[in-house]
Amino acid sequence: MEKEAMRIRFDFSNVMSDNLGDLFGLRETVLKNYREQVTVIHHDFLRRAERGEFAFMNLPRQKEVLDEILDYTEKIAGRFESYVHLGIGGSALGPIALHAALRHPYYNELSPEQRGQAPKMYFLDNIDPDTIAAILAVVDVKKTLFSVVTKSGGTAETISEYLFFLNKLREKLGENYRENLLFITDPLRGFLHKLALEENIRTFTIDPAVGGRFSVLTPVGLFPAALSGIDVNQLLDGAAYMTKICQYEELLKNPAYLFGLINYLYYLEGRRTIVMMPYSDRLFRIADWFRQLWAESLGKQNNRANRIINAGPLPVKALGVTDQHSQVQLYMDGPNDKLFAFLEVEKFARTVSLQSPYPKAPEANYLNNKTMNELIAAEKLATEIAFTENQRPNLTFKVPEVNPFTVGQFFQIFAVAAAFTGELFDINVFNQPGVEAGKVAAYALMGRAGYEEKAAEIARKLAAKKAHVV
Amino acid sequence: MEKEAMRIRFDFSNVMSDNLGDLFGLRETVLKNYREQVTVIHHDFLRRAERGEFAFMNLPRQKEVLDEILDYTEKIAGRFESYVHLGIGGSALGPIALHAALRHPYYNELSPEQRGQAPKMYFLDNIDPDTIAAILAVVDVKKTLFSVVTKSGGTAETISEYLFFLNKLREKLGENYRENLLFITDPLRGFLHKLALEENIRTFTIDPAVGGRFSVLTPVGLFPAALSGIDVNQLLDGAAYMTKICQYEELLKNPAYLFGLINYLYYLEGRRTIVMMPYSDRLFRIADWFRQLWAESLGKQNNRANRIINAGPLPVKALGVTDQHSQVQLYMDGPNDKLFAFLEVEKFARTVSLQSPYPKAPEANYLNNKTMNELIAAEKLATEIAFTENQRPNLTFKVPEVNPFTVGQFFQIFAVAAAFTGELFDINVFNQPGVEAGKVAAYALMGRAGYEEKAAEIARKLAAKKAHVV
């Protein structure tokens, strides 16, 4: 069956005691001990899903959103040379992951013909003034679509970018600036939503029940993907396919539950770092997307009973084979306090053949008549073997190919896994109270109305601070 | 004085107990207790430097290497449309850090005029077949200089890339392929060195006493930097300037020693993660370079007495402000087991002004007549304040500007710090024995002559492996 052949497989052999050994390996009985708790969580999920929580699990079926997007991308086809995506965090990491995984590695350097007349794509997810200013050297504002993406509608970074480019658009286009603007935001509330109504700006909406880091399959990710020619139908199909698999009640059949449980068990033993290491340039930014999902969903001060637990595994991204020459020394010889999750591509899109004209050189000859595909596969397997022999627990997600159908699967495996792992920690997965203090301080420092007291408090503290500088 | 104004300052206020509090803060007396040990290490360094160790500290003074490079870049000026750098680990991270810090953020998309006629720059530090194949869509092989960079001269990834592009060059250029090749390797030994002699290929050499991860100021980093128009004289001047400062015997005047000691003290307390978080897109890849330096230098199984210690802090990179919307939730609310090192730019090259046409909107109005420069500075300070109040120890390197003189300083601060911290751990900073097992397994899997026994052993083990896959 076609879909089955494109299914991502989760290989957890190298965390099990029969391969990793008894000291750090997990026994199957330990996993099975959790079956009852898994069942309880599972049925709780089903109930809460009926009440409208876990809305991210329904996204793959919202094809009407897709139709609206595809209508619009068709309507504007050929009109823009460039697309600039203004967003940060959950408004950027999903679209960037999609673009990196499914478009050409040097996409913006291709000719319009090579890009199928789709615009060049820029994702601005920082407020570095040098970068913001620099983009004006490579885009013609008049021929650029600026997409302002913020669920709340008021994110400081995104609004500041919007203000900057709005002025540029008005300078160049006068009152026609609206034609080059798109908002992606909440359908009911927020500054951007209000503005869209007042100024009549084209808007796609984000399902209010879907949190930022779970929003890649809303217009946040779907619109830029569709605009650049990614098959978003396939993307949603893959996501829908994997969502079903991640709804299996049986722990040993559910990759999301298994991944979550394994992470949790190792965390309890003091293994607080999870290194996600794709052996694929294209999948590297999925590790980045995962990094937000995992850190914000699981990094929590309090559990649901309001006890201070300061929990949360540290998600780290690494790149195979590149980081074999940077991080693997530490991973092998340093503290044995990390769990590894490889992403492995079984079939790359291209085959790169190697010939060596140096039959006498052992450094080159073993590569003769081999492929780079064989080399990257060998290096991944070699690293896996070395880790396992050295009792470093490691997991592998095997991806038949990198395509929209498989990339869609990734998002849902990890999103379900995050929700599930949060239940094991007994925390609220969907909030992020820890960033509030920094936001408030930033508003105070910027002189925002209503934050005067905080500003005075900060000024007092800074004055009292003892400087130690060299 | 000009140089003094461009000096990177190390602010360690927020790890000291008078600001961070007594529970996790360091007292100045604790630092001072290490003065004697610091003096011992310092004088040992001086002795070893005289014997030719720590060669990386002499690099900034090797201006004759620079002259050779500048002669060559002048000679080939205008001849190549593109430059492709083939290297991995220490052969890539330095040059990439330099390029990202000191060239335009969208460099390859600029016109040749905007690039000052310098070639487009590509750094291939992975063997993903899709990326390798894809580069042929954007470079014209005939007009491309391929630089093969490997200190040992035999790195599998780099040699495989070389073989692939060598064939492409020969197809297009016949025996003239040499004109488009450059080697950067050891001056005395290795496959590439031998080949350079036999085939008469232009070569720059790497000081044999300088290890890969310390080699950014050899031709490994200097050549591509010079080629793309970076002021490499200023780079070396900055490095030389900071090298002197990092040779101060007095702990409290030496930023490298202080940074190393602070890292070490927190590591001893179980704080095993150091997050380097530049608030600057340009400096992000310096954090990547640091990641290799720190992980490979300090991640060691054995100490010098050959006792198993499995030591090594985990270096993590994060990006301000971007990761405020991804990682800061965890950094604030998760386990208090991390040390943070911010890189802060005091003056960006460009000023981005903001105006808001929405006087009634509080979400935009506080940004009116402000600059994005103020916003990024406020967000950095806000994060620092929030961390400190929450007892999360944090350091800041303050960079007056991002320019060759300051970037050169970074490399030397951290290189000296790595060497110094290794002494505190009593380990060998300059080797990487932990990657050997993986290399051997990869050779075996690729069928390299001499590895037959290992291949048979691996085959036996794989056959005995119990599969757990879902």
Chain A hits for B130, CB-CB cut-off 8 Å, are 105, 280-282, 348-350, 402
Beta-carbon separation of A470 and B253 below 8 A:
yes
Do residue B274 and residue B414 come from a single domain? yes
How many angstroms separate the CA atoms of B297 and B87, rounded?
19
Do residue A420 and residue A316 come from a single domain? yes
Do residue B259 and residue B378 come from a single domain? yes
Do residue A192 and residue A82 come from a single domain? yes
How many angstroms separate the CA atoms of B373 and B352, rounded?
7
Q: Which of B90, B131, B292 sits opposite A281 (nearest CB)?
A: B131
Beta-carbon separation of B299 and A329 below 8 A:
yes
pLDDT at A1: 57
B283: how many CB neighbours lie within 10 A of its CB?
26
- End-to-end CA gap in chain A: 65
Among the candidates B230, B255, B276, a domain finishes at B230
pLDDT at A446: 98
Question: Does residue A225 form part of some domain?
Answer: yes
Do residue A23 and residue A95 come from a single domain? no
Nearest chain A CA: its distance from B71 CA (Å): 30
Do residue A178 and residue A308 come from a single domain? no
Beta-carbon separation of B435 and A349 below 8 A:
no
Q: Both tokens of residue A269?
A: 């033993």
pLDDT at A217: 98
pLDDT at A2: 85
Question: Does residue A363 form part of some domain?
Answer: yes
pLDDT at B1: 57
How many angstroms separate the CA atoms of B220 and B204, rounded?
8
Question: Does residue A469 form part of some domain?
Answer: no
Beta-carbon separation of B105 and A130 below 8 A:
yes
Low-confidence ranges of chain A (pLDDT < 50): none
Do residue A208 and residue A176 come from a single domain? yes
Nearest chain B CA: its distance from A167 CA (Å): 8
Do residue A343 and residue A254 come from a single domain? yes
Do residue A10 and residue A141 come from a single domain? no
- Domain extent, residue B441, equals 433-458
Do residue A412 and residue A312 come from a single domain? yes
pLDDT at A186: 96
Low-confidence ranges of chain B (pLDDT < 50): none
Question: Does residue A59 form part of some domain?
Answer: no
> Can A296 be counted among the known catalytic residues?
yes
- Tally of domains within chain B: 3
pLDDT at A52: 86
Q: Cα B337 to chain center, whole Å?
A: 24
Beta-carbon separation of B332 and A437 below 8 A:
yes
Among the candidates A230, A259, A286, a domain finishes at A230
Question: Does residue A177 form part of some domain?
Answer: yes
Place of tokens 């089903």: A46
Question: Does residue A242 form part of some domain?
Answer: no
B22: how many CB neighbours lie within 10 A of its CB?
10
Residue B189 maps to which CATH number?
3.40.50.10490
Give B134-150 pLDDT, tens digit per residue: 999 999 999 999 999 99
pLDDT at B2: 85
Do residue A147 and residue A123 come from a single domain? yes
Helix (H) or strand (E) holding B145: strand B144-149
Q: Which of A106, A155, A434 sits opposite B137 (nearest CB)?
A: A106
Q: Which of B357, B362, B468 sits opposite A449 (nearest CB)?
A: B362
Q: Both tokens of residue A330?
A: 């530490």
Among the candidates B230, B256, B287, a domain finishes at B230
Q: Which of B9, B335, B441 sits opposite A385 (nearest CB)?
A: B441
Do residue B83 and residue B23 come from a single domain? no
Question: Does residue A468 form part of some domain?
Answer: no
| Contact between residue A196 and residue A181 where contact means Cβ atoms under 8 Å apart | no
Question: Does residue A317 form part of some domain?
Answer: yes
Chain B hits for A168, CB-CB cut-off 8 Å, are none
- Establish whether this prediction's ipTM goes over 0.90: yes
Beta-carbon separation of B386 and A438 below 8 A:
yes
Nearest chain B CA: its distance from A281 CA (Å): 6
